[in-house]
Amino acid sequence: MTTVPTFEELFHNCQRSAVHLEMRDGYMKSDPAFIDWSAGRTIEPAQRWGDWLRLVSESTARGVEVRRARIVSEPISAYIRFEYEVTEGLNIAAGEQVRWLSRRDATSIALPGNDFWLFDSGLVLVNHFDGDGDSLEHEVVTDPEVAKLCASAFEAVWERAVPHEAYRPV
């Protein structure tokens, strides 16, 4: 069995680019931040996700381009609204570029079956979730054909997607 590196290791070893494609309408609904947001509490990304902010900020500061694309059903789910509302203070503040694509506009794009991270166009970290969006495991794939599929899918989504600052959730 292959040992899965931590995000810290993946980002520290990353030289050029890290891209993330999200395709689910809900993730880890048991997440305390989502529960607090659902209850109307204010979410402070720097307090909740300080390690992520630091990790991505350090990576972008040394020249790594970090891009995240989200394919979403519209009207959007409560979880996606939560993601949208914390994106500015979390992902954008850390230096990520974020774009959104309506699932309707993704129909003609060949997509892999799972969300993934792609580091330096060669290492794919596949995210496996259960039906409720809870994380099951991460899988590392270095097969060049899988990396090529993921890169192609990401770029096709990225080209059609709307930048975060221009996206208006339905």
Give the contacts of 117 (CB within 8 A, at least 6 positions apart). Answer: 10, 18, 19, 20, 124, 125, 127
**pLDDT, average across residues 114-119:** 98
Give yes or no for residue 2 having a pLDDT over 70: no
Confidence of residue 3 (pLDDT cuts 50, 70, 90): confident
**pLDDT, average across residues 56-71:** 98
How high is the pLDDT of residue 100?
A: 98
Write out pLDDT tens, residues 13-43: 999 999 999 999 999 889 999 999 999 999 9
Give yes or no for residue 1 having a pLDDT over 60: no
Q: How far apart are CA 102 and CA 161, in angstroms?
A: 8
Q: Write out the DSSP string of the chain.
A: -PPPPPHHHHHHH-SSEEEEEE--S---TT-HHHHHHHTT----HHHHSHHHHHHHHHHHHTT-EEEEEEEE-SSPPHHHHHHHHHHIIIIIHHT-EEEEEEGGGGTTS---SSEEEEETTTEEEEEEE-TTS-EEEEEEE--HHHHHHHHHHHHHHHHHSEEGGG----
- Give the number of other Cβ atoms within 10 Å of residue 96's Cβ: 22
C-alpha dihedral sign at 153, 157, 158, 164: negative
Mean of the per-residue pLDDT values for the chain? 96
